[in-house]
């Protein structure tokens, strides 16, 4: 919502000031500041902002500044650098107590970093980060992961921010060493004293993290703004010598030539005061201001502006590329769409990239008859092959034993579990599709897995989103999407080779795996003219099962271990349950789960908390449909926010907290929840749900039965914030030790 004109802006920001005071979501800034910042104002006032002491500091800086200008010896010069030094030094003196010489290397570095970040935020790419009206920004809001990959300087921004942070931390340590609590000298001193006073308050806003962010805020907000205004001001004075002459006349008259100007002079210098105002008015430094958000639902003129957390209500439209997409938010609306109107909402959204690879075949990205028949056949075949039954359970148990052996080989030394945790689920799918599992060192297996991992990484990238939203890019620009096609070509040819081997040894009365079952179905349907069961569809379906069934499960396992590391109390309770129900020597099995309510709750909580696929895979409506007063035309993309259900605060109090209690009743029994929807719901619900749930339970209990998890860093430093949000939530990389029990 854009507010234009004095009356509207005044009404919102003054008359309804409190209601409009929230800062709107800016993903790029949020990632760097992680929601911190903001308590500097009171400290800056303590340091004399608006009083004499700050004025003294400004005057001192002005003298140095004039000296520097004198050194230009009246030769032509670009004033940018010198004009930036003075405001930067002002902020330095407020924060660090001292000003710097304009040639000081630390000062130059600091200024460079502030400038670099402001330059990035001012670049054309910043449209993505800052301006709401841009449709790409909306994509970034839904897929903030895009920020990582966009060919802008976003990563430089984060890096520079990190460097500024470490400089501040170093300075803070120096301040800590010499702090006199009765005589605070600068903002850091004030903050440290407040931190000490509030050290027993767990919700205190006075933490080192907030201090560093506040300092970055002050530099960002207080240097380039002032220096750009000064620069623009000088340019305007150059252009208007008559105005300049009148100011100088006033200066001669009120201040004279030898003493420093002071704030008292202002009231005697109306013309100069007017010029400074006019420079600010004319240069209009921050034209659209920083975005605000409302703090509660507000009726403003004839509009109802809903609070940020429910900005657009349960059903709203965003633009992906040039196409509108409807977003569904919250359990009720999701149930109404995906279950009550299941058929209409069962279409798959448009994925130009996937369409090139799958050509309308397979399950995940297909539609209509091909989707329906392939999905029905796959579900039935998975069941026949033992998914949800004992036989597949035995495969998973066998795989869990191999995984435990591999983990044992790490000899309790620090290791990143990513690779081993992706081998195990991949092997489970291999055993379903090809009948056999592979050794974790088998070169064929490694290449095959490598191609999938690489594609997962690329497909989660912004570049691919751009290709999906602007399909013309696929043909005309070089990029990693070509790598995706190459990798899929490799995977397909590998599967084709396996299919040929199967064809040569097929016994129609004794199908061994998914490929055999599909070949038999192909044979049965060969006279059907609308052939769904073709070789091409077999390969696309096998690829789909691999891509849907490996990274999903392995990322959940990896994230799960990280959460268990961070919460040793939870891990200890799971291990206690394992000791009492399974004991040490036999393999965990699915029957154990009913006797292990706590462990069951932990596995559910891991899936709820990590919210692996926040907006699921885009759906589409299969015909024009009237839904809650909206007419949604056939083919419109529908994004289902699983996050909104998994983080429902009515169902899960404190949804941002990892707490297995979300799935336990008062007596410690497992408590089911309709809002547990990590696999989505309705006609497109995950085909591998029961397989994945078996794997998660068996792999996690097998690991905890045999090992104690030991972190390699301090508990409080373990960060569980996902490193990419958007298409999927991925945990930050980490190491741990598997200590045999």
First to last CA, the chain: 59
By CB under 6 A, residue 679 contacts ligand HEM: yes
Q: Would you tell me how many other CB atoms lie within 10 Å of the CB of residue 527?
A: 6
By CB under 6 A, residue 731 contacts ligand HEM: no
CA 113 to chain centre: 24
Q: Which is nearer to ligand HEM, 89 or 374 (CB)?
A: 374
- Give least dist CB 276 to ligand HEM, A: 58
By CB under 6 A, residue 688 contacts ligand HEM: yes
The answer to whether the CB of 101 falls within 8 A of the CB of 85 is no
- Give least dist CB 419 to ligand HEM, A: 18
Q: Which is nearer to ligand HEM, 226 or 542 (CB)?
A: 542
**DSSP β-ladder status, 323-329 and 637-641:** parallel
Q: Which of 43, 115, 375, 725 binds ligand HEM (CB under 6 A)?
A: 375
Q: Which of 571, 616, 644, 690 binds ligand HEM (CB under 6 A)?
A: 616
By rule CB under 6 A, what count of residues binds ligand HEM? 25
- Give least dist CB 665 to ligand HEM, A: 25
Q: Which is nearer to ligand HEM, 404 or 603 (CB)?
A: 603
By CB under 6 A, residue 593 contacts ligand HEM: no
Q: Which residue has the tokens 């091409």?
A: 536
By CB under 6 A, residue 692 contacts ligand HEM: yes
Q: Which of 612, 675, 698, 727 binds ligand HEM (CB under 6 A)?
A: 612
| DSSP-assigned beta bridge partners for residue 300 | 303
Interface stretch with ligand HEM, choices 37-45, 77-85, 223-231, 610-618 (CB under 6 A): 610-618
430 annotated as a binding-site residue: no
Q: Which of 88, 118, 294, 364 binds ligand HEM (CB under 6 A)?
A: 364
Q: Closest Cα to residue 676, out of 346, 329, 331, 328? A: 331
Q: Which of 145, 686, 709, 727 binds ligand HEM (CB under 6 A)?
A: 686
Q: Which is nearer to ligand HEM, 144 or 549 (CB)?
A: 549
Q: Say how far apart CA 725 and CA 740 lie, in whole Å.
A: 34
For the chain, count helices (H), then strands (E).
31, 13
The answer to whether the CB of 214 falls within 8 A of the CB of 40 is yes
- Give least dist CB 213 to ligand HEM, A: 33
- DSSP 8-state symbol, 706: H
Q: Say how far apart CA 226 and CA 232 lie, in whole Å.
A: 10
Q: Which is nearer to ligand HEM, 318 or 685 (CB)?
A: 685
Give the count of alpha carbons within 13 A of 63, CB side only: 10
- Give least dist CB 13 to ligand HEM, A: 41
- Give least dist CB 710 to ligand HEM, A: 25
Q: Say how far apart CA 59 and CA 317 lie, in whole Å.
A: 54
The answer to whether the CB of 88 falls within 8 A of the CB of 107 is yes
Structure token pair of residue 734: 């980490």
By CB under 6 A, residue 684 contacts ligand HEM: yes
By CB under 6 A, residue 117 contacts ligand HEM: no
The answer to whether the CB of 469 falls within 8 A of the CB of 320 is yes
By CB under 6 A, residue 678 contacts ligand HEM: yes
- Tell which positions 83-102 bind ligand HEM, by CB under 6 A: none
Q: Which of 195, 363, 424, 539 binds ligand HEM (CB under 6 A)?
A: 363
By CB under 6 A, residue 698 contacts ligand HEM: no
Q: Which is nearer to ligand HEM, 465 or 616 (CB)?
A: 616
Q: Which is nearer to ligand HEM, 521 or 619 (CB)?
A: 619
- Give least dist CB 718 to ligand HEM, A: 22
C-alpha distance from residue 24 to each of 3, 127, 139, 289, 697 (Å): 14, 15, 16, 11, 40
By CB under 6 A, residue 680 contacts ligand HEM: yes
Which residue is at the shortest CB distance from ligand HEM? 688
Interface stretch with ligand HEM, choices 130-138, 312-320, 513-521, 679-687 (CB under 6 A): 679-687
By CB under 6 A, residue 334 contacts ligand HEM: no
- Tell which positions 528-567 bind ligand HEM, by CB under 6 A: 544-545, 548-549, 552-553, 556
The full DSSP string for 723-740 is: SB-SS--BPPP--EEEEE
| DSSP-assigned beta bridge partners for residue 711 | 736
Strand, coil or helix: what is 264? helix
- The pair phi, psi for residue 4, each rounded to 5°, is -125, 140
- Give least dist CB 348 to ligand HEM, A: 6
Interface stretch with ligand HEM, choices 161-169, 455-463, 502-510, 676-684 (CB under 6 A): 676-684
- Give least dist CB 236 to ligand HEM, A: 57
- Tell which positions 502-521 bind ligand HEM, by CB under 6 A: none
CA angle 735, 738, 740 (to 5 degrees): 170
Q: Which is nearer to ligand HEM, 9 or 339 (CB)?
A: 339
Q: Closest Cα to residue 30, out of 613, 647, 614, 721? A: 721
Q: Which is nearer to ligand HEM, 691 or 709 (CB)?
A: 691
Interface stretch with ligand HEM, choices 288-296, 442-450, 476-484, 673-681 (CB under 6 A): 673-681
Interface stretch with ligand HEM, choices 132-140, 517-525, 688-696, 719-727 (CB under 6 A): 688-696
Q: Closest Cα to residue 658, out of 555, 554, 558, 568? A: 568
Structure token pair of residue 154: 């976003």
Question: For residue 236, what are the contacts with CB-CB under 8 A and spacing of at least 6?
Answer: 243, 279, 282, 283
Q: Say how far apart CA 560 and CA 609 lie, in whole Å.
A: 10
Rg (CA), the chain: 31
Structure token pair of residue 461: 């990238």
Q: Which is nearer to ligand HEM, 144 or 560 (CB)?
A: 560
Q: Say how far apart CA 601 and CA 659 lie, in whole Å.
A: 9
Q: Which is nearer to ligand HEM, 121 or 545 (CB)?
A: 545
- Give least dist CB 620 to ligand HEM, A: 10
Q: Say how far apart CA 293 and CA 264 lie, in whole Å.
A: 38
Beta strand ranges found along 550-659 (DSSP E): 619-620, 625-627, 630-632, 637-641
Q: Would you tell me how many other CB atoms lie within 10 Å of the CB of residue 602?
A: 28
Q: Which positions make up the binding site?
A: 686
Interface residues with ligand HEM (CB under 6 A) are 363-364, 375, 544-545, 548-549, 552-553, 556, 612-613, 616-617, 619, 678-680, 684-688, 691-692
Q: Which positions make up the binding site for heme?
A: 686
């Amino acid at each position: 919502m854009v507010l234009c004109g004095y009356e509207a802006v005044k009404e919102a920001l003054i008359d309804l000031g409190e209601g409009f005071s929230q800062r709107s979501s800016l993903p790029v800034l949020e990632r760097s500041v992680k929601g911190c910042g903001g308590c500097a104002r009171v400290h800056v006032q303590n340091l004399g902002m608006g009083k004499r002491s700050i004025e003294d500091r400004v005057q001192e800086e002005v003298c140095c500044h004039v000296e520097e200008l004198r050194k230009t010896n009246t030769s032509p010069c670009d004033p940018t650098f010198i004009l930036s030094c003075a405001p930067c030094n002002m902020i330095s003196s407020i924060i660090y107590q001292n000003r710097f010489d304009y040639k000081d290397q630390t000062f130059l570095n600091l200024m460079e970093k502030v400038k670099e970040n402001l330059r990035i935020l001012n670049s054309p790419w910043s449209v993505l980060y800052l301006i709401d009206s841009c449709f790409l920004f909306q994509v970034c809001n839904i897929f903030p992961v895009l920020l990582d990959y966009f060919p802008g300087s976003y990563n430089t921004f984060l890096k520079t921010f990190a460097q500024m942070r470490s400089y501040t931390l170093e300075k803070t340590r120096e301040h800590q060493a010499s702090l006199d609590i009765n005589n605070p000298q600068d903002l850091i001193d004030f903050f440290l004293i407040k931190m000490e006073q509030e050290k027993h308050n767990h919700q205190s806003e006075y933490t080192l993290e907030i201090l560093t962010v506040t300092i970055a805020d002050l530099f960002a907000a207080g240097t380039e703004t002032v220096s750009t205004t000064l620069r623009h001001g000088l340019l305007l004075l150059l252009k208007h010598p008559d105005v300049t002459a009148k100011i100088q006349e006033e200066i001669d008259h009120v201040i004279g030539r030898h003493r420093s100007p002071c704030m008292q002079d202002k009231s005697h210098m109306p013309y100069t005061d007017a010029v400074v105002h006019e420079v600010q008015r004319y240069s209009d430094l921050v034209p659209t201001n920083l975005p605000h958000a409302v703090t509660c639902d507000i009726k403003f003129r004839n509009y109802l502006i809903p609070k940020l957390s429910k900005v657009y209500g349960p059903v709203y439209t965003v633009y992906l590329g040039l196409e509108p997409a409807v977003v569904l938010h919250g359990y009720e609306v999701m149930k109404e769409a995906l279950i009550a109107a299941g058929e209409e909402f069962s279409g798959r959204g448009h994925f130009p990239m996937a369409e090139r690879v799958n050509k309308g075949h397979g399950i995940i990205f297909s539609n209509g008859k091909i989707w329906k028949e392939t999905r029905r056949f796959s579900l039935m075949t998975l069941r026949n092959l033992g998914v949800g039954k004992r036989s597949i359970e035995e495969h998973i148990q066998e795989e869990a034993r191999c995984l435990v052996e591999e983990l044992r080989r790490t000899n309790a030394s620090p290791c990143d579990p990513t690779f081993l945790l992706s081998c195990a689920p991949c092997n489970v799918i291999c055993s379903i599709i090809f009948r056999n599992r592979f050794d974790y060192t088998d070169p064929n297996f490694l290449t095959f897995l490598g191609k999938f991992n690489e594609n997962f990484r690329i497909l989660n990238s912004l570049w691919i989103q751009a290709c999906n939203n602007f399909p013309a890019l696929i043909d005309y620009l070089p990029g990693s999407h070509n790598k995706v096609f190459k990798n899929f070509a490799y995977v397909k040819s590998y599967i084709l080779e396996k299919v040929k081997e199967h064809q040569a040894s097929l016994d129609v009365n004794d199908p061994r795996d998914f490929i055999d079952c599909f070949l038999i179905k192909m044979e049965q349907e060969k006279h059907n003219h609308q052939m769904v069961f073709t070789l091409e569809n077999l390969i696309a379906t096998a690829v789909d099962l691999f891509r849907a069934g490996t990274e999903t499960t392995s990322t959940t396992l990896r994230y799960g271990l990280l959460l268990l590391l961070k919460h040793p109390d939870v891990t200890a309770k799971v291990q206690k349950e394992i000791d009492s129900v399974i004991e040490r020597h036999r393999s965990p099995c699915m029957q154990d789960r009913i006797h292990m309510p706590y462990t069951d709750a932990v596995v559910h909580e891991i899936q709820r908390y990590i919210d692996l696929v926040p907006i699921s895979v885009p759906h589409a409506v299969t015909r024009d449909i009237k839904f809650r007063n909206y007419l949604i035309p056939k083919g419109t993309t529908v994004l289902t926010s699983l996050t909104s259900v998994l983080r429902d605060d009515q169902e899960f109090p404190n949804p941002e907290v990892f707490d297995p209690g979300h799935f336990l009743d008062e007596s410690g029994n497992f408590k089911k929840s309709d809002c547990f929807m990590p696999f989505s719901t309705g006609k497109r619900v995950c085909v591998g749900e029961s397989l994945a749930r078996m794997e998660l339970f068996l792999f996690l209990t097998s690991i905890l039965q045999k090992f104690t998890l030991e972190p390699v860093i301090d508990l409080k430093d373990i960060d569980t914030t996902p490193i990419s949000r958007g298409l999927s939530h991925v945990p930050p990389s980490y190491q741990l030790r598997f200590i045999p029990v």
